[in-house]
Amino acid sequence: MANLIQPHGSDRLNPLYVQDTAERQKLSQEAPSLNSVLVSSATAGNAVMLGAGYFTPLNGFMNKADALSVGSRMHTVDGLFWPTPVMNLVAEAPDVKVGDRIALRDPNVDGSPVLAIQQVDAIETFTSSELEQLAQQVYGTTDAQHPGVAEFLAQGSVAISGAVQVLNYSYFETEFPDTFRTATDIRDSISKMGWNRVVAFQTRNPMHRAHEELCRMAMERLDADGLVIHMLLGKLKPGDIPAPVRDASIRKMIELYFPANSALITGYGFDMLYAGPREALLHAVFRQNMGATHFIIGRDHAGVGDYYEPFEAQEIFDQIPAGALKIEMFMADHTAYSKKLDKVVMMREAPDHTKEDFILLSGTAVREMLGKGEAPPPEFSRPEVAEILMKYYQAQG
């Protein structure tokens, strides 16, 4: 049996999904009699992550003091290291009172079924300047053009805090039955595989040759037993490739180009924050919770546009307290195919190269090629992966 890494801030996982079937049915039957709140997509994602154990050791949604402390100091009032607020923010809650139990309804599923039951410990209002300050601290900007900031500020200013009991995993379990996995599921898989050194790779995009080779490089250099590809299955900004297409292309790549039983293809139910450095820290927290010992942090990790410096998401790990995380980082540079060396390399490890020595294609150029039915060069993208992506882009017209 593998000797798994300890979860964050605890000696055991704290999944808030109600495992007991009878108890879950009882709560589901009680839900219609409770006051209900239609939550934001971000809150629904938080509930799924709490339910799945990824947000161990949290017991529910943060209150105002904890959220502000996390924003300014990256730890809760009690001293738990945590990089981003986990809140249930609403525009208003006129019928909700402290001490109530409320039913949280899911905005992402038809009919808005109940996703979780929440105990109401506090109902607190943020001023607009407090929310702007939080946006600045978490996203590094208050620019409403930033997709994460826009989503955050659109939720409302009233925070309902308290413990949650999660009844289902929203649409993730039904739409991605082969890919969505809880932190418990992944720990169980790692244990069954007998892996001790486990590398996690975060993706919200299909994986091209550079990503594939980066994973291989990390596994070799860290002498890892296995790789967990952990893809985001929630909402993205317009123009990003939808999860089913990404899932299919990654599966094809692993099937054809990785040794059997060397990689797990998994996903998690959360909306992308695009919070760059702070999101990189959050990614590390929940990768530790799912049992990974190492996590690849690439160039502009979790970034968007020009809001972050290329290596800001790596540098932030030098600014957190020693021992805040048990998981270790594998800091990666931009990877690209070297025509000189006839293989994918980290660009910083090829100081004798000029730009012309690499095969470099912008995302826009790749999308245009795929849309025209042209496969990118095989050094950039595996032909079988390109075929899946071409079909998608051509169907978009």
Enzyme catalytic residues: 204-205
CA distance 74 to 280: 13
Q: What angle do CA 148, 154, 157 make, to 5 degrees?
A: 115
Integer CA distances (angstroms), 274 to 112, 228, 242, 317, in order = 26, 21, 16, 17
Crossing angle of helices 363-371 and 383-395, in 10° steps, is 70
Cβ–Cβ < 8 Å for 87, 46:
yes
Q: Exposure string (b/e) for 96-125, b if CB count within 10 Å is 16 or more?
A: beeebbbbbbbebeeeeebbbbbbbbebee
DSSP state of 81: B
3-state secondary structure 215-243: HHHHHHHHCCCEEEEEEECCCCCCCCCCH
| Cross-strand bridge partners of residue 159 | 89, 124
Q: How far apart are the first and last CA of the chain?
A: 50
Non-local (6+) Cβ contacts of 390 within 8 A are 370, 373, 374, 375
CA distance 284 to 295: 7
Q: Exposure string (b/e) for 212-244, b if CB count within 10 Å is 16 or more?
A: bbbbbbbbeebebbbbbbbbbbbbbeeeebebe
Cβ–Cβ < 8 Å for 60, 163:
yes
The pair phi, psi for residue 14, each rounded to 5°, is -125, 70
The pair phi, psi for residue 133, each rounded to 5°, is -65, -45
CA distance 150 to 79: 29
Give residue 10's identity as a one-letter amino acid code: S
| Cross-strand bridge partners of residue 35 | 102
